[in-house]
Chain A
């Protein structure tokens, strides 16, 4: 959020995009240097949603910070809860009961589907197709209802506790989730008919703005954006946490099916495929979930031993890591939050050169950048 000196050429025009702009998914701002319809450079200016969450972490007790983690990524708050809990549990060496781990997985995957639905729903809308958004949001509402019955909240859940979760499943929850999945799976085929195999959509995105695997790693892209670039990497599979090693699922990888590997269509397609994998995980979780406790014994005031821990979860936007430093007092000495959107945002400047303005919008949408995660 600052100004820099820019050299102007005769035919160059600086156009401001955002922070209030229908295609920027929240308060994001770009300073675009354009030559007619061509973008010479789009410089992201961030910070409009900065709430100094890392500073707040130093001021409140360990349990008290959990609701703030919701606000790190309010589109997929469950995974943000989960990452923080994992990191503190690592410091405390707490063993989380199996049932709580499964409940976390169920909540995470429901949340991932809801978040990906927002992503694949708003993507066509940014390109001018409004209808798919309505389809996606209708399904997301049903997931919100399910999560509301689980923890009482629809957006900022505060569901995960350090050492467990806050509530057990209500009566009939498993049946309602599986009924939803039965109804939802065929709808994904309908969604594919509507947009994934739509010629206009494919022509528009195939081969647009490919990001190579090497570049994606160098810029620290994570999650679906990294997988779309052809890298088979998923924390749930490769560094499993909770009980992800007990469920079976595939890792969708970008294969350049409509253009080049790592293009905008691949980034869209990987998310569609991940929704299906999440459905698969959810079905297994509902069958495998054991009986038992949902909360380990954790003191009301946590004072972890001196030390530092980094724990990461596969959030909807990729690796979300919490680096927690403890000085054996009631409050964390420092919490650093690593988010997927921050790195995704940083790659836009180098990728935007020579794009059309409308394609810049597609690039931003394909990276699924969410403003609170960028600014924290």
Chain B
């Protein structure tokens, strides 16, 4: 199915309170879905024969400072088409439904987003940190994250190893 046909069928199926925005003119067709309806929407596009998005390629969380955007990058082996489903999560109360029941692969993807961006997935069977230790403070992929000077008595600073004068800590603002 062409990207345009796919998106028009989706906007027909779901009204404007669920599918908030969509575009097929960029590099990848994408839709923005209401966060409350994400599970219903994804379950539909996975199971409906016209879409059958059986492969969850990746799940990427992005911190936009006012909100956190979750990108579900989908692919269908049967039809060979792709779609990116986006949804915005409130940064103060970062909760969203888990899609682990739809794609088991999401189990670890969601744990990674929880670990690095601090979004909790409701209904997830095992919501704990995956890459960082349990007692790590903060979520590193947040834009306002600052690394602590030490972790359990081990310095995270470079001069500790070399005895060099203190290096300026790199932050996104410095880099840009």
**Which A residues are within 8 Å of any B CB, using their own CB?**
1-4, 46-47, 50, 52, 54-55, 58-60, 90-91, 217-220, 231, 233, 238-239, 307-310, 312, 319, 321, 323, 325, 329-331, 333-334, 336, 338, 342-343, 345-346, 350, 375
Determine whether the beta carbon of A47 is less than 8 Å from that of B105: no
Determine whether the beta carbon of B58 is less than 8 Å from that of A1: no
Determine whether the beta carbon of B175 is less than 8 Å from that of A1: no
Determine whether the beta carbon of B27 is less than 8 Å from that of A46: no
Task: Tell me the nearest residue of chain A to B133, going by C-beta.
Answer: A1
Chain A residues with CB under 8 Å of B26's CB are 307-308
Determine whether the beta carbon of B141 is less than 8 Å from that of A346: no
Determine whether the beta carbon of A220 is less than 8 Å from that of B57: yes
Judge whether B39 is part of the interface by a CB distance below 8 angstroms. no
Main secondary structure of the interface of A (DSSP, over half): mixed
20 more A-B residue pairs beyond the given contacts A47-B130, A323-B71, A333-B62, with a C-beta to C-beta distance below 8 A: A2-B128, A50-B132, A54-B141, A60-B175, A217-B55, A218-B54, A219-B105, A220-B56, A220-B57, A231-B77, A308-B26, A308-B71, A331-B175, A334-B60, A334-B62, A336-B60, A346-B104, A346-B105, A346-B107, A350-B104
Determine whether the beta carbon of A325 is less than 8 Å from that of B62: yes
Judge whether B94 is part of the interface by a CB distance below 8 angstroms. no
How distant is the Cα of A118 from the Cα of B160 in the complex, in angstroms? 37
Judge whether B154 is part of the interface by a CB distance below 8 angstroms. no
Chain B residues with CB under 8 Å of A90's CB are 27
Determine whether the beta carbon of B60 is less than 8 Å from that of A220: no
How distant is the Cα of A58 from the Cα of B108 in the complex, in angstroms? 23
Chain B residues with CB under 8 Å of A46's CB are 130-131
Determine whether the beta carbon of B58 is less than 8 Å from that of A2: no
Q: Which of A219, A323, A334, A375 sits near B131, CB closer than 8 Å?
A: A375
Determine whether the beta carbon of A308 is less than 8 Å from that of B28: yes
Interface set, chain B 95-119, CB cutoff 8 A to A: 103-105, 107-108, 116
Determine whether the beta carbon of A1 is less than 8 Å from that of B141: no
1/0 per residue, CB under 8 A from A, across B40-76: the answer is: 0000000000000011111010110000000101000
Nearest CB of A to B85, in Å = 13
Chain B residues with CB under 8 Å of A330's CB are 175-176
Nearest CB of A to B79, in Å = 12
How distant is the Cα of A238 from the Cα of B79 in the complex, in angstroms? 11
How distant is the Cα of A163 from the Cα of B83 in the complex, in angstroms? 26
Judge whether B129 is part of the interface by a CB distance below 8 angstroms. yes
Determine whether the beta carbon of B131 is less than 8 Å from that of A338: no
How distant is the Cα of A292 from the Cα of B96 in the complex, in angstroms? 52
